[in-house]
Structure 1
Amino acid sequence: MNTRAVLAAFGLTGMLATLPSHASDMRFTGTAKADDGAVLYTERHQVAGHCEGDLFRPVKHEVAYLEPDSDQPFATKNLGYEKSVIRPTVEFAQPDFNERMEIRYPQPRQLTIRWNTPGSGDDIENFSVTFTDQTVVDAGFDNFVRQNWEAVLAGKSIEFRFLGPTRGEHYAFVLEPVENREIDAEQVLQIRPTGMVLRFLVDPIVLGYNENGALTDYLGLTNIRKNADENYTAHIRYSVETYPDCELTP
C-alpha cells in the first residue's frame, strides 16, 4: 500500500496539502532497436523534480542520445515542466542534420515553435499555436498517462490533443488499452489519431508500463532522424536506474 492509501485509510489525506516538498530525481535508460534487432541508439534520461506529498512532480528532463559504443551524444533534448507536466518547453538538437527545435509558451493559451529544418540550417519554420487544457506536447504524454492512471487501470479510453510540431498544429488522439505481442508489460496502451485522414497517415504508438507507472516500452515513430527525409521507427525498451523517493502515480 502506498503512502497516499495509508493516509486515506486513516482519513489524513488533507494533510498532503500541508506536507513540505523535497527534491528528488529519476534516471532511466532506453535502447532503441530496429525490426531486425539491431541497436540503433541509446537514450539516457535524467529527470529532476520534487515530491509533493507522496507524488513525484517532474521539473526538468534531460535526454542524451548516443550511438552504440559511443559516450558522446549525437542528439540532445531538454524539457522543462515548470508550467505544465503535459506541455513542457522543448529544446531538441540533432547537429548531424543541422536540425533544432524549440517550443515555448509566451502566453497562457499560446505556444510557439521554432524549427530549423534538416539540411543547410538556413531554413526556419515558425508557428504560433493556440491550445486547450487537453493538449499534450512531446514527452508530456508520459505524464498524461500517469495523470490518468486510475482510468488506465480501469481500461478506459481517454481523448486528448497531441501536438505535431513540424506541422504547427495539434490533432485529436485517444489513449486506450491494447494487446501487442511485442510488448510484455503490466499495462499495454496505445495512442492513436482519431481523425479519418490522419488515421491513414500516422501509425499508433504502443506503450508499456510497469506496476509503478514507469515506462518500459515505446514502439513507433521516434524523434530521431534516420536521414533528411524520415525518422527512425523503433522499439525502445526502458530500464529504470533510480526511482524518485515518492510515487509516480496517484
Structure 2
Amino acid sequence: MTTNPARLMIASACFLAAQMGFAAQMNFTGTARTEAGETLYVEQHRVTGVCEQGVFRPRQHEVGYQEPGGGREFANKDLNYSKSLIRPAVNFRQPRFDESLVIDYPDDDTLVVNWQTPEGENKSFDVPFSDSVVVDAGFDNFVRRNWPAVLNNEPVAFRFLGPTRGEHYEFVLEAAESSQVTADHVVQIRPTGVILRFLVDPIILGYNARGALTDYYGLTNIRKNNDTNYTAHIQYAVENWPDCELTR
C-alpha cells in the first residue's frame, strides 16, 4: 500500500498544531455589589492564551476596574501566566490611592513582591516558594486544575500568598454551602492555620458546569479607603468563550 504524501503532510501539520496549540481568547465581566445590592464597580477581563490538547491555557490576563454605569477606569491589573498557571506575574495599579503591587519571579524558587502603599512607603519582600503556592488570580486555574476533586467534593490543601505580608499561608479548597452564592458548584478557599482562620474569612466561589467562575464572595483587592478593602459579591458573565474546554 502506498502512502499519499499530501495526506501525510496534512496529518503531520494537524498533529503539530494540536501539540503546539492555537490562539484563543476569553472575555468576561464581573459586577461587584454590596450585600444590599449596591454596585461598587465593574471588572472587564480579557484573557488571551492557547488551546492545547483541547484545553484552554491562559497566557495574559488584563483586568480593568471601572466605576458603575460605564464610568472611568480607576484601577487595572496585568497578569502573566507564562511561567505558571497558578503563580502569575502581577502588576496591579490603584492610582487614586497611589498604590501599586508588583509580583515577579527572578528565580525558580523565589518570588519578589514590590508594594507601594497608600501611605507612600515602598516595601519589598523576597519570598521562597514551592509548587504548592498559589498567587493572586492563579486560584482560578488552581480550581480548574483540581476539577475532579471539585466534582467529588474532595478537599485540596495548598498555600496562598499574602503579598502585602511577604508570606504564604496554609489554605484548603473545599466544597461549601452558601446563602449568598448559587452555582453549579460552590467551593471555598479558607486558611487552615489556628490563628489565621479566626482573622480571615473564607472566600466563597461559584463555578458553572463548564468550569467558568460565576461568583466571588469575600474580600477584594479594591480599596474602600486607606485602611480597608471592599468585601463584595462579584458575579461574572462570559461574553466570549475560547474554542476549547476550560477543564478536562
State TM-score, norm by structure 2. Answer: 0.92
- Cα deviation, 1:171-200, whole Å, max 9, x if unaligned, reads 000000011121110000000000000011
**Does residue 32 of structure 1 match 2:43?**
no
Deviations 1:201-237 (A, max 9, x none): 0000000000000000000000001100010000000
Question: Which residue of 2 is the match for residue 170 of structure 1?
Answer: 168
Letter in 1 for 2:101: M
Q: What SS class does the counterpart of residue 166 from structure 1 fall into?
A: helix
Deviations 1:42-61 (A, max 9, x none): 00000000000100000000
Corresponding position of 1:49: 49
Following TM superposition, the consecutive aligned residue runs of length 4 or more in structure 1 with deviations greater than 2 angstroms are: 15-20, 69-72
Give the match for residue 220 of structure 1. Answer: 218
Q: 1:152 aligns with which of 150, 153, 175?
A: 150
Q: Secondary structure at the match of 1:196?
A: coil
- C-alpha separation between the residues in 1 aligned to 2:197 and 2:69? 37
Q: Which residue of 1 aligns with 2:59?
A: 59
5+ residue gaps, structure 2: 1-14
- Counterpart secondary structure, 1:56: strand
Shift of 1:35: 1.2
For the 8 Å contact 1:33–1:236, the answer to whether it is kept is yes
Cα drift, residue 71 of structure 1 = 3.8
Task: Please give the alpha-carbon distance, in whole angstroms, between the structure 1 residues aligned to 2:18 and 2:70.
Answer: 46
Counterpart AA for 2:150: V
Q: In structure 2, how many angstroms separate the alpha carbons of the residues matched to 1:71 and 1:179?
A: 34
**TM-score when normalising by structure 1:** 0.91
RMSD: 1.2
> Does the CA contact (< 8 Å) of 1:216 and 1:237 recur in 2?
yes
Tell whether 2:236 aligns with 1:238: yes
Q: Given residue 203 of structure 2, which amino acid in structure 1 is its aligned partner?
A: I
Is the CA contact (8 Å cut-off) linking 2:18 and 2:52 kept in structure 1? Answer: no
In the TM superposition, what whole-angstrom CA distance separates every residue of 1:144-196 from its partner, at most 9, and x where no partner exists?
Answer: 00000011101100000000000000000000001112111000000000000
Q: How many residues align?
A: 234
Which amino acid in 1 is paired with 2:213?
L
Seq. identity, %: 59
Distance 1:32 1:73 in 2: 14
- 1:62-120 C-alpha deviation (Å, 9 max, x unpaired): 0000011244210000000000000000000000000000000000000000000013x
Q: Does 1:22 align with 2:31?
A: no
Unaligned runs of 5+ in 1: 1-14
Contact 1:152 1:177 in 2 (8 A): yes
Equivalent position of 1:130 in the other structure? 128
Residue 95 of structure 1 pairs with residue 108 of structure 2: no
Q: Secondary structure at the match of 1:74?
A: strand
Deviation at 1:18, TM superposition (A): 5.5
Q: For 1:182, give the aligned amino acid.
A: Q
Distance 2:109 2:86 in 1: 14
